[in-house]
Amino acid sequence: MTAQLIDGVALSRQIRTELAQRAAALTSRGHTPGLAVILVGDNPASQVYVRNKVKACHDTGLHSVLEQYPASMSEAELLARVRALNEDASIHGILVQLPLPAHIDAHKVIETISPLKDVDGFHVASAGALMVGQEGFKPCTPYGCMQMLKAIGCDPRGKHAVVIGRSNIVGKPMAMLLLQANATVTVCHSATPDLAQHTRQADIVVAAVGKRNVLTADMVKPGAVVIDVGMNRNDEGKLCGDVDFDGVREVASWITPVPGGVGPMTITMLLVNTVEAAERVAAAA
């Protein structure tokens, strides 16, 4: 079997077309959705990420501001900027690009963002809402993975899902979303002794580790759906995921490519969260 590709670029285009209409409707009512992106320091990868996010906003009819600060910015100065954006009515979502310089406590910064503007879904209020099944912003990457499953008609109900990785921004919320969707969920991590024993039983595998070839063909049940969140570089310096794509695509039924899979969906779900934040404000006005 050769797996079908879950095309994150095409799905993103489809979702963004619909989002542009929602953004235009909000704009006509005086509530143009606004995203503020803060970048501290000159990490080259972060610069690319924030530029892509700002461009995606402009292309979809959202207002966006990019605030760039030197790595010498103090924690107090950054917290003051976040508080000012919390009060800014033209801004519905605030994103502080991670990682931050070592002298700044990222947790403190995230907890300073108003939960009403936490479009990255990293605030403990958002994590708590996800945990207990209340309304809140879902972290963009796992939210995008769930949209991909939906797009291929894969209902997680009754399926065994294995998530590899347990970070606060990908693995843990991914597991919670799959659980909410009635999958039976196993979470694996660096202390899992026999990863393959778990993945071989999975109908859905989500790899979110950050290491090449964590998942190889012999570790995958024939017909499984494989979502590759990882972003790594191969020996030629090209972007690749955590999954041995060429091998696993011969065993799986569906697979996400890297690039062109989860990455574009992450940005798209950021736009979705920002439009939702603006819709909530507009509904309350």
Residues making contact with ligand NAP (CB under 6 A) = 141, 164-167, 169-171, 188-192, 195, 208-211, 214, 229-232, 262-263, 266
Q: How far is the CB of 172 from ligand NAP (least distance, A)?
A: 8
| 29 known member of a binding site | no
Among candidate residues 7, 118, 120, 242, the one labeled active-site is 120
Choose between 164 and 181: whose C-beta lies nearer to ligand NAP. Answer: 164
- The answer to whether 147 and 158 have CB atoms below 8 angstroms apart is no
Active site residue 53: yes
| 51 annotated binding-site participant | no
Q: Cα dihedral sign for 230, 233, 234, 240?
A: positive
At its nearest, how many Å lie between ligand NAP and the CB of residue 28?
Answer: 32
Tell me whether residue 191 or residue 285 sits nearer to ligand NAP (CB atom). Answer: 191
How many other CB atoms sit within 10 Å of the CB of residue 35?
27
Catalytic site residue 155? no
Residue tagged active-site, from 97, 172, 203, 244: 97
Shortest distance, CB of residue 82 to ligand NAP, whole angstroms?
Answer: 21
Pick the closer one to ligand NAP by CB: 135 or 236.
Answer: 236
Q: Is 88 tagged catalytic?
A: no
- Bond preceding residue 70 cis, omega within 30 of 0: no
For residue 174, give the H/E element and its range. helix 171-180
Smallest separation (angstroms) from ligand NAP to the CB of 169: 5
Closest by CA to 265, choosing from 99, 149, 92, is 149
**CA separation for the pair 201, 192 (Å, rounded):** 15
Of 78 and 262, which has the nearer Cβ to ligand NAP? 262
Tally of CB atoms within 10 A around 212? 16
List all residues 6 or more positions away from 194 whose beta carbon is below 8 Å from its beta carbon. Answer: none
The answer to the question of whether 114 is labelled as a binding residue is no
Q: Is 34 helix (H, G, I), strand (E, B) or coil?
A: strand
How many CA atoms does the CB half-sphere of 186 hold within 13 Å?
18
Task: Please give the annotated binding residues for NADP(+), written as ranges.
Answer: 165-167
Active site residues: 53, 97, 120
Please enumerate, by residue number, every residue annotated as part of a binding site: 165-167
